[in-house]
Structures are given as C-alpha cells and as structure tokens.
Amino acid sequence: MKKTKFAIIGNPISHSLSPIMHNYWFKKYKINAEYELLEIDKSEIQNVIKKIKSKEIRGINVTLPYKNFIIPFLTKTINDANETHSVNTVMLDDNNNLIGENTDVFGFQAAYLKSIPNQANKKKVLILGAGGVAPSIILALLKSNIHDISLSNRTFEKSLFLKKKFKNLNVVKWNDCSKDINKFDIVINATSLGLNSNDKFTNDFSNFKKTLVYIDTIYNPAETKMIKYFKSNKIKTFNGLNMFIYQGQKAFYLWNKINPEVDDELLELLESKLN
C-alpha cells in the first residue's frame, strides 16, 4: 500500500530533525506514512498547497521563512495561529478546508515553563529577536501567566511591529541589552544567531543575574556560543530541543489523533543527530 505523505517546508531546512522524529513515531505506532524535507522557494508553495488539497500530501509543518507567508494560501487559521499570525502546522479538515495551526506555543510551554522555579508569574523575561518564533514565545509566556515581557531586536522597527500585536510588551533598544540584562530572570534567544556554530552576539552579556535562566530556541547545534558562555558561568541553560519535540508531538496528534510518546529511544536518536 502507498505510504501517506507528510513534509516540512522551509528554506534553508537541511538542519531540521522533523523527518527523523515523525518517521520514528510512524514506525512506533505502525502508521504507513513517511515524512520528508521540502526545501522550496516561495514560488513553489502554491504547488505544495495543491498537493495537500488533492490529498497527495496529508499535512505539512512550516518553518522559516514561511510561517507567516503561508497564511493567505489557507482557508483559515485557528487558535494559537490566529493570535500569533504564525503557522507551523497545516492540515485538511473534513470539509476540505485548509487549516493552519501553531504548535510552537504549546511546544514552548510544555518544554520549559514547567522547569522554571516557583512563582514563574513574577519573573521578568527578555526575548532577544523579533523574527518568526518571537510571537509564539510571547503568547506561550502570556498563557503561562508571565506578563513582564521585554523584547529587543537588532532592527528596532520589527520590535515595534510586535508591540502593536502585544500591547504590554516592553521594547528595549538593542544597544541597551548589555546594561539592562541584570534586570531579567529569564533570557530567551529567539534570533537565528547561533545556527552556525561560529555565530556570535556582539553584545556584552556579562552583567547577568546570578539566578538567570537562559533558553535558546536553537537546537542544532545543541550548544550555541551563548549556551556555552552561560553554562561556563554556572547559569541554568536550555537549548531548543524540547520545544522542537513538543511542537512536533502536537502536530503529530493533530494529523494522526495519537499523542506520541517522547521516549528515551527518541531522545537518544535525536541527540545523536545534533552537531
């Protein structure tokens, strides 16, 4: 019997571990399906959409730089995708409507917010970056009752764009991050800086609180320069692997109505593929 097809679209995409994770779950739950990487240009999105409508592809994940770009091609967005204008999971409903959902918000909540020590709602958070993943992180924090959220982005105007959507966001000038970092309990890297292992922030972050928790949304490489820096200073750090896994768990559920287990074998498999 022909395998049902799933895919992730983005560009660049070669670093993605989504096929390894979803194919592991398909095997585990004996689902006759396969999941592949589609590195495509903007002009090819229409073609992928056609394939979902004709059921040649059953569902897709969407990653940078298309999380927002894909929205006009869909019938509608729902839930967290509505609030963030960021879609990472697409599926067809029973009436052949193309539905866009966002599972990054759940991914972030499930991965980290339970590990933040007591009284998470009193924590002051600084998000670095205003790109594709930033609105999902803001919404995840708000849903977890964390309201003291600041954001800083190299290109200032992009932070203001997010402030239009999230009115209570505090915007910090990029050049003020160094002196202001000691005000924050949690710092989250939502930039793409770190994807290449030589990438380095030019900001000086040495003025951090001793109790800081540092979260990097990047999972490959497993340790960005920032993670290495904070770890060597005895700061609690998390990379993006758990967020990646839990966004995938929810996407898998939406497509297959099975909530797949995050077991040790999967963790070992994913960790073995990281740089």
Interface residue list for ligand ATR (CB under 6 A): 64-65, 129-132, 153-155, 158, 191-193
- Give 20-81 as a DSSP string: HHHHHHHHHTT--EEEEEEE--GGGHHHHHHHHHTTSS-EEEE-TT-TTTTGGGSSEE-HHH
Tell me how far, at minimum, the Cβ of 88 lies from ligand ATR, in Å: 12
Tell me how far, at minimum, the Cβ of 71 lies from ligand ATR, in Å: 14
67 flagged as catalytic = yes
Specify the residue, 208 or 253, whose C-beta has the smaller distance to ligand ATR: 208
Active-site residue (options: 3, 27, 53, 67): 67
Specify the residue, 130 or 270, whose C-beta has the smaller distance to ligand ATR: 130
- The residue at minimum Cβ distance from ligand ATR is 131
Q: H or E stretch including 157?
A: helix 156-165
Specify the residue, 158 or 236, whose C-beta has the smaller distance to ligand ATR: 158
Contact 215, 186 (CB under 8 A): yes
Contact 15, 195 (CB under 8 A): yes
Tell me how far, at minimum, the Cβ of 195 lies from ligand ATR, in Å: 9
Q: Which residue has the tokens 């770890």?
A: 231
Tell me how far, at minimum, the Cβ of 20 lies from ligand ATR, in Å: 22
Taking each helix axis from N to C end, the angle separating 241-256 and 18-28, rounded to the nearest 10 degrees, works out to: 50
Residues with catalytic annotation? 67
